[in-house]
């Protein structure tokens, strides 16, 4: 089969620039596709950290755009060797801190222009007048920051690359006043209900959803949920209308980085056949977090952004009763100040039984995954979710809300699933404190005697959450798209 050329446009990529899960996907998926023979190139804004981290840079184009000024496209490489094109525009991208937010915590006021340029460059590289030696076959766009590209291609090109628009989180849509239409060089006739207009505003994400050839999201269940209220966030009608080209492909995890058998951050290594190292990790974690040294007490854990999406207020509500049930609890997270304070105060009240580490700490996150027995993920919505997969790989059984990718990746410990050995965790019937407490009652009963628990751990730890199979699904999607065009 002929080599497929892919341009993967993204606003963040691990390890150069990361604020969330999108960076992990961007760091892993194109590399996994390259291992399947795809000629994959990344496109990223030229943030300072990216310019520094992309090795020797070679100019491939220089433009003077009336709306943006001078722009250069520079080709470098990712640390793993994958080709990377950076958009150099110092004024837009070489700023201190976060790619999306200013130091005041608010969106950069010129985000429409900054990410409009990203979409415009993606379209140029994938369009009729591509400056690349060979125009890509497929342009893969990710989230609102790149979503204008399919619109540019629709309005200005005749034989562009096929486009895939992936939604990593529909809650963020890139909505701006219609006055940016001119500065973004978008035609006035694009601004209507079947086009880019969203309640009188210009929606970047909607552009990708209307003009993308295929739409994907990061789990099959989330692909269904976003076709309805409330998780469609106003776009459910459009997504339902385009359901024939909408599908869900689960995210993978980095199984090298997250491997309890050879994780240098852990206090002791272990695997599915020998969990004795896990007990050691638990003992040291209990000590490090100021919890009572009780090997037999089931330890609950949370590692998460503290945001409304994650449902941690429900954990806080339930915590006194969970302590009464005999659990210990540890939280690592940061985000909303009020809820951070609540967890701090709960840790104070239940000293020795509950602990809270407010902050972001990669090493501690691995140690918690290894040392805990049960991982709590009561998200209100969850496009895919990573931690429930990490926790299964570490033999820490997840308790999850019945939503999004959590339902696609955790097999509930029903009587039937326990009997056939496929259970790997616990799915709440509903998300509220009463159901969380009831489910953890069930967890407590299964935890001792340990026979069933061991079996669940083994099943969870040996489940395949790697990228290889996911990348194959994307490749098949690209190929079917190209076949249909031909």
Residues that bind ligand ADP (CB under 6 A): 20-21, 303-305, 332-334, 360-362, 365, 385-387
Is 53 or 385 the residue whose CB approaches ligand ADP more closely?
A: 385
Q: Of 152, 147, 214, 192, which is closest to residue 479 (Cα–Cα)?
A: 214
Is 21 or 311 the residue whose CB approaches ligand ADP more closely?
A: 21
Is 113 or 218 the residue whose CB approaches ligand ADP more closely?
A: 218
Distance in Å, CB of 360 to ligand ADP, minimum: 4
The three-state DSSP-derived secondary structure of 20-37 is CHHHHHHHHHHHHHHHCC
Is 75 or 304 the residue whose CB approaches ligand ADP more closely?
A: 304
Residue 444 and residue 450 in contact, taking contact as beta carbons nearer than 8 Å: no
Distance in Å, CB of 424 to ligand ADP, minimum: 16
Is 85 or 372 the residue whose CB approaches ligand ADP more closely?
A: 372
Distance in Å, CB of 365 to ligand ADP, minimum: 4
Distance in Å, CB of 337 to ligand ADP, minimum: 14
Is 291 or 406 the residue whose CB approaches ligand ADP more closely?
A: 406
Which residue's CB atom is positioned nearest to ligand ADP? Answer: 21
Distance in Å, CB of 22 to ligand ADP, minimum: 8
Is 27 or 385 the residue whose CB approaches ligand ADP more closely?
A: 385
Angle value at C-alpha 435, between 430 and 436, nearest 5 degrees: 105
- Supply φ then ψ for residue 227, to 5 degrees: -85, 5
Distance in Å, CB of 401 to ligand ADP, minimum: 13
Per-residue exposure over 8-28, b if at least 16 CB sit within 10 Å of its own CB, e if not: bbbbbbbebbbeebbbbbbbb
Is 24 or 412 the residue whose CB approaches ligand ADP more closely?
A: 24
Distance in Å, CB of 427 to ligand ADP, minimum: 16
Distance in Å, CB of 254 to ligand ADP, minimum: 9
Per-residue exposure over 325-339, b if at least 16 CB sit within 10 Å of its own CB, e if not: eebbbbbbbbbbeeb
Distance in Å, CB of 281 to ligand ADP, minimum: 16
Is 178 or 466 the residue whose CB approaches ligand ADP more closely?
A: 466
Is 332 or 413 the residue whose CB approaches ligand ADP more closely?
A: 332
Tokens of 452: 């069933």
Distance in Å, CB of 133 to ligand ADP, minimum: 36
Q: Could you tell me the sign of the dihedral formed by the alpha carbons of 287, 289, 293, 299, in that order?
A: negative
**Which residues make Cβ contacts (< 8 Å) with residue 456, sequence separation at least 6?**
397, 413, 418, 423, 424, 425, 446
Rounded to whole angstroms, the Cα distance separating 363 from 368 reads: 9
Whose structure tokens read 């953890």?
440
Whose structure tokens read 């209308």?
241
Residue 404 and residue 385 in contact, taking contact as beta carbons nearer than 8 Å: yes
Distance in Å, CB of 336 to ligand ADP, minimum: 13
Is 137 or 225 the residue whose CB approaches ligand ADP more closely?
A: 225
Distance in Å, CB of 331 to ligand ADP, minimum: 9
Rounded to whole angstroms, the Cα distance separating 212 from 217 reads: 13
DSSP-assigned beta bridge partners for residue 41 = 7
Is 20 or 102 the residue whose CB approaches ligand ADP more closely?
A: 20
Distance in Å, CB of 439 to ligand ADP, minimum: 20
Is 195 or 333 the residue whose CB approaches ligand ADP more closely?
A: 333
């Amino acid at each position: 089969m002929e080599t497929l050329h892919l341009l993967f446009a993204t606003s963040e990529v691990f390890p150069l620039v990361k604020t969330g899960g999108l960076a992990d996907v961007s760091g892993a998926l194109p590399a996994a596709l390259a291992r399947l023979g795809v000629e994959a190139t990344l496109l990223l804004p030229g943030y300072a950290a990216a310019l520094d981290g992309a090795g020797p840079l070679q100019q491939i184009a220089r433009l003077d755009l009336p709306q943006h000024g001078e722009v250069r496209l520079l080709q470098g490489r990712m640390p793993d060797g994958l080709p990377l094109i950076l958009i150099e525009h110092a004024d837009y991208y070489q700023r201190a801190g976060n790619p999306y937010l200013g130091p005041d915590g608010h969106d950069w006021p010129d985000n429409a222009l900054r990410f409009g340029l990203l979409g415009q460059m993606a379209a140029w590289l994938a369009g009729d007048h591509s400056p690349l030696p060979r125009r890509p076959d497929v342009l893969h766009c990710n989230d609102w920051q790149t979503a204008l590209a399919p619109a540019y291609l629709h309005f200005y090109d005749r034989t562009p690359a096929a486009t895939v628009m992936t939604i990593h989180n529909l809650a963020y849509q890139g909505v701006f006043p219609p006055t940016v239409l001119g500065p973004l060089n978008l035609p006035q006739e694009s601004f209507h209900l079947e086009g880019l207009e969203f309640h009188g505003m210009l929606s970047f994400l909607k552009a990708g959803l209307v003009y993308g050839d295929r739409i994907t999201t990061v789990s099959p269940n989330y692909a269904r949920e976003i076709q309805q209220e409330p998780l469609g966030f106003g776009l459910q009608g459009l997504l339902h209308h385009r359901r024939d080209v909408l599908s869900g492909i689960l995210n993978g995890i980095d199984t090298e980085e997250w491997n309890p058998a050879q994780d240098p951050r852990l206090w002791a290594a272990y695997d599915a056949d020998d969990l004795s190292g896990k007990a050691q990790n638990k003992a040291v974690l209990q000590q490090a977090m100021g919890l009572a040294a009780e090997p037999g007490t089931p330890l609950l854990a949370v590692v998460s952004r503290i945001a409304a999406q994650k449902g941690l207020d429900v954990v806080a509500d339930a915590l006194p009763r969970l302590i009464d049930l005999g659990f210990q609890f540890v939280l690592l997270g940061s985000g909303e100040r009020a809820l951070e304070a609540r967890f701090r105060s709960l840790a104070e009240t239940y000293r020795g039984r509950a602990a809270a580490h407010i902050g972001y700490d990669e090493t501690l996150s691995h140690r918690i995954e290894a040392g805990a027995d049960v991982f709590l993920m009561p998200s209100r919505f969850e496009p895919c979710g990573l931690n429930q997969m990490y926790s299964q790989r570490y033999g820490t059984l997840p308790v999850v809300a019945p939503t999004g990718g959590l339902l696609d990746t955790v097999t509930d410990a029903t009587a039937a699933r326990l009997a056939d050995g496929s259970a790997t965790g616990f799915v709440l019937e509903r998300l509220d404190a009463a159901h969380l407490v009831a489910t953890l009652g069930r967890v407590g009963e299964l935890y001792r005697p340990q026979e069933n628990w061991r079996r669940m751990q083994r099943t969870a730890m040996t489940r395949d959450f790697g990228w290889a199979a996911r990348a194959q699904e994307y490749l098949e999607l690209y190929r079917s798209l190209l076949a249909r065009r031909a």
